[in-house]
Structure 1
Amino acid sequence: MTRDLSPAALRRAVVWLGVAACLLAGMSVVDMLLPRPYDGVVPEPYGRGGIVVRDLVPEGPAEKAGIRPGDVVLGIGNRMLNAPTDAPPELRRHAVGENVPYLVRRASQVFEVEVVLSPHRAASFGYFYFALLGAAFFALGVFVFVNRPEDPAAAVFYLLSVLFMLFFVCRFRPLSYYWVDYFVQMAGTLALFLLPAVFLHFFLVFPSRKVFRFADERPGEPPPPRALSALQRFLNGSPLLFTVLYTLPPAVYLLQMAALTRLGRPVRLVYGAPVLNWILLADYLVLGLLALFHSWWTAREKAQRRQILVLFLGTLGGTLPFVVFAVSFPSIFRTERYMAWGLVPMALVPLTFGYAIVRFRLFDVRVIVRKSLVYGVLTAMVTGFYALAVVAGSRLAAESTFFSSPLFAFTFGLVVVLIVDPLRRRLQAFVDRIFFRDRTDFQQALLEMSRAVVSQLERDKLHDLLTTRTAELLKLERLELLLPRPEDGALARPGADAVAIAPALPLGSALARLVVERGVPVRLAEIDPWALDEASRRFLELPTLRETKVLVPIATRGRLLGLMAVGPKKSEEEFGREDLDHLVTMANQGALGLEAAALHEQLTRRAEVERDLEIARDIQMSLFPRELPRLPGIELFGMSRPAREVGGDFYDFIDVDADPTGRLGLVVGDVSGKSVPASLLMVAAREIIYARAIADADPAVIFRDANRRIYAIKRRMFVSLSYFLIDPDALTIQYALAGQPAPLLLREGAGEAVEIPVPGSRLPLGAFRETTYDARTLYLRRGDLLLFYTDGLNEAMSPQMSPYGDERLKASFVRHGGRPLPELAEELLEDVRQYTYGAEQYDDQTFVLLRVTGTKPQGTGVV
């Protein structure tokens, strides 16, 4: 049973392949550098029936002995040879300077010559060039793979670089007649078989996977042939595509060798491979170039087109000579002198890729080039130019009388000095434009943004920092900030028309969820619109987002605070990894700033509310009586403990008669709702009751008129009110109730508290427009004790959400009824406090105590 390798296992396999290839290449180079006994023969590597002399080292031992190209060496040192691999063991038996007999066949003649072996290193200048070129490919591939190990295109490029190294270092090398030859030549041949497939593979997946559309169904046109549709499906989705690409070169080699062997024809080998394989290699290179050209042709971004064009031109210039010579003149690869015309331009390929990495951040790799290093190289170059100019001037002075004059020497030196400094500055400016354009900008932007976030708490100014300032510092064409709308939470530009200017993106849409789940910048070009919902597609298709390239989430702790819609860069370059890191940093700073601004706004609103509450509280407290009225034979005491800063309860006394000792009106009320609106309605209710009580003392009439006025002032808010008209002379209380609990009466010596009778109609004031109210009269006795209270007292809640209740209130009233009124009030509140045990109360606790101390009148009882 087989299982697919994980991506990590595949990466390890690719790394070990590179290590093995590097060891083989190193063995090849070392083998070329070691001095050995050498005869100066350059053999055909895969000849049979002896050593076929392909070429001779000029002035080498074999040429001096009379051996010519085309001869066949049948034996060395009295030992017959069948192939070049038979020569190394025989040569190792002899020493440098020893005369060794060679058996040679020339045409039909066979003769023997003496060859004096000389010390020789097989490496030539051409081989060193190939080794350097292979090392450049390998170093470039390793650099890309180390920086982008997760990128499939980077892995294929790394494999391509490894094969190029083996191809140049192990394939294009002279034979050394030693055992290393077998391994390195095999590695070079394997690289030759795999290189074309990997080359084509890379350009099929770079910069993105090619998608073929030659067999798409189009409206109004007949369907394409089934064969074309099947071919398109195979090219776009079949995993066998790359299997075919990789198996074709070795299959062609095997079939070609088998066919030629069966027909008895000689096999024409060029550096160990049949000519047809070299032609196939050229075909693969052409297809790869066409794929790269197609990427350039179909690229939508101008910056991406420029990047691909540079790669295409460099790769074309590096591979075109090889393709031309490999297809048209494959035999020239037998001679190193002519082979250079096809292979030397290959250096353009790694140079182009290296330039693209540095200039365009190819593969999203950012190369940090130190200014000191670059400027040092520039200084050395300018110094070299200065030295060359001085040498040239000295030679001119030595060759001519005119040039040897002091005036010429002074003028020439002055000109050179004047040229050197502008040249250095121009070169430094050019390097700054290429390598160091954006680096200091971001550092300054980050510093300024951090300072601004700490100091700027106004949302409008913070919005400007996150858009205009960030776009300027990162050199962006445009940058929009999309924030949740207050009404529905959809993301839109603040303060703009949500449809025409800044289209809204619902928070529950697929695009919003995608951005939150990834938590990183999302390139719009990488999103398949058909994988999104309708709302997301409409959002992306609107004109305002056509130039948006990247969406960057502004989030904290998984909560999306907004989006940065980033437009293209002014340089028209693609966004690289470092650019995205910059945007993420800005977004993180923005999230901090938005949270700080929101907290600042919340604290500001809270401070305003608290200030308003304090003002309303002062107003409310000013409405309570500053001192209790003094009535003959009656004691009064009132208390109110608000549940919040501002309560809705109130009580007050009204002098109905002009005489201070005459009738007195007592109002106890509770406004629905709390805080400022309740306090203001309380003020209005008090003034209405006060005005009506002066005009007409009848509680029923007062309530009827007050109900209409309060209903007109504030609907859906009402006042629970009780009004008591106290007559100290008659010892009576005439009263009406509107939503308030009935007062408690404790008779002297009774031992229990009872509720006074309630009128028939007792709806709160303001509940309905037209309501009638009834009035009752209570006759008092000496020693009577009355508790007028609001429902905040008997409905006080315990931590278990159980109300205090009427019975507990009555019991507490009876238990402490003998105390003076101030002490009685404190004891009542203390009993309530112990029951609630610190639980937050949501209703005010307001009550008034009345005790009759005078004599009882003739009439008694309750009416």
Structure 2
Amino acid sequence: MISTRYIRFLFLALTFTVGMISIIAVFDGMTSKPTDGLIWRLGLDHVIVESIVTAGPGEKAGLKVGDQILGINHVLVRNPGEAASILMGLQIGFRIPYLIQRGDEIITLELTPHPYRTGDNTLLYSALVGFVFLGVGLYTCLKQPNSPPARIFLLMNLCFLLVLTCSFRGSPYYWIDLLVQNAASWGLTFLGPLFLHFFLLFPKRKPILNRFKALIPALYLIPWIRHFAYTLSQYFGGGLWEQELFGVQIELWAILGIYLIAGLWALMHSYLSTTDPLERRQIKLVLWGTFIGLSPFMIFSVLGAGIFEQRNLFSIGVVPLAVIPLSFAYSIIRYRLLRIQVIIKRSILYSLLTGLFIGVYMVIVHVLGGWVERVTPFGGGFFGVLFVLVFAISFEPVRSRLQQVINRLFFRSDYHRQSTLDKLSRSFRNIEEMGKLARATLHAVDEIFQPEKSSLSIITDRPGAIEVNQFTLQKGKTDERIYKLNEDEPVDFAAEFIQCNGKNITTDNIHIGGVQGVQLERSPDHLKLPIFSHDKIVGLLSLDAKRSGEKYAINELEALEAFCGQAGLAIENIQLLKSIFEANQRLFEAEKLVSLGQLASGVAHEIRNPLSSIKLNIQGLARNMRPDQMNKRRLDIIQREIDHLDHIVHDVLIYARPSGLKIEPVQPEEVIYRTAELLSPDLKAAEHKIVLNFPENFPKVAADREKLHQICKNLIVNAADAMGTKGRLEITGRVFSGKVDLIFNDNGPGIAEEDVSSIFNPFFTTKADGTGLGLANAQKFIQEMNGEITVKSTLKEGAEFTITLPVYQEKKLEK
């Protein structure tokens, strides 16, 4: 097998050879030489005039097509090479004798050589475009020397270079033209087959090549036959067709056109048939570039300048050809065409941009300065000073604007990604709520990378456990779940990339690497990245495969890792603010409760004493009053209202006084079952359904049995009232890290967002006949049991109350 090094050397040598031929052709074409206005047939052992330039020296001297030149300036010539050598040594403007054989007659004619260049500025434009082809093709082949499409691409671009530098010169007349003319023939002959061959391999090998093994050799058969015929015509004259276009026979242009159309068809077929989004973008860019480049060339250069002899249209068609290699180059840079990864340093582009800007400035100063000096009384120095001031003022904004253009052109995805992430990072300063931060992050990540699903897991230390809030975004919908990692058994986190083993888990011993800790996956299809703050993990970001099917690139991973560092600080800041707020809130609540308790106790006593007196007097009136139906009903109403007031006073006193709890081992599912059974008549009447989900061997909790019964009763009654009729209340038990959760989840209308923060405040109620002390007392009892109660709610989806209590631990007596 041929080594990669040898392949690179071989193609470098070929590129060097073609490049040198092109440079020679351009240099010779732009060099002024003496000409006699005669077109000679090359490759023969005598010099025959094949055609004569109109109004040239030969026509003025009376030479005719078919004349054989025997001598020039008293020197015999035997072939075109000798004739060209003698002609190159002549001086322009002097009359030179030509010895001519015309039929059987030998005559002498005198002509005056004129200065002549076979090329003009159009040749320079063509050469510039050709070397763009050369640069892109050579770079592609050197990057992928073992790739057949890359090799064919270089050969195709070399043919483009030969066509652009060697085919569009004026008429040849000495030995360099023999080299250039044959190089042009090679380029035009094999450009078409290479063009079609490349698009049969790009971006993937077409199935037709497997079905017809001889197709590729057949592509090159016609060009070989044609080039052989062209070679013979140089020695024996004539050709397939006598009509020529730019010195090239028409049949060659027809063959080239057929191959180009077939190649574009193959490219279009690839675009329509591919299902890979990245390939589709690559093909689309190349297809448009090829079409835009070839169309003006065929219209203006071939038809306009060649067939209709409008030479001024030629450059209009040549310059757009540069779009073809430039579209390939841009596709390589942006979409990794032919699997070529290009890393362009922005600093280099910015430096080139700055140099270009300064160069344009100097040209403007030079041109306008001279003009001002000629047409105005002011000197050029005055204008220079003025323009320096304008340049100094405009330099920075113009440079910044041009850099943005560079970023959008060459680094569009990087620019959009970085600007979006920077904007999100700046917004972190104004976000104080964790859910808002998570949703903003997921929506930004979804906009930039477009994964099938993304999730942000925020890890919070709790006493003896870790709480993980996982926010997931999929198909535009955000979901939030809370996981509590148990210290007593291995936990397989729902996102399937955290494996926490062992006990006493804290965020300090979740680390990267090692047996214990976080096992992260990182592949081109999906990313799972830790979020750190001061060497402590505070979150995890997970991105599934992209919706487009593209792989994650290295620069995308680097951008995400940098962003995760900023997100880590934002998460820690929010957690710190939240802990400070909760501490202040607890302190405020404690102080408020003390004051409220003292006030409530005094007011309750002042109300209860007169209320008892009223109740006794009403009972006395009832005994002494005649049994009148109306009066009896009124007394009953007064009695019920007094009992209601007495109940409120009783709740206030309970809230105000120390509870005096009796902490004992309590089986929570038994208490909940007993409470639900007690309330079953009312629940059945409203057609409510209660579902209990408790795992086997659910542990006992350290609690006050009666107070826990009151709390559960209050939560069940509240849920039943909220659900109306035919509701569903699911009560679930969960164990984690020495604690249990009792979760009451109903499908009622939910709680308004503005009411959630006040739901446990004393005397806050949304019921017409409520006291606003049920949940306040529940929170008080649970906190006295070393637990906590929390609430989550979504309007129209229901509410969820979670009671967290410690597992009962039996105390062992020391010996």
- The TM-score range, normalised by the shorter chain, is 0.3 to 0.5
With normalisation by structure 1, the TM-score equals: 0.44
Structure with greater proportional helix content:
2
Q: Which has the larger radius of gyration?
A: 1
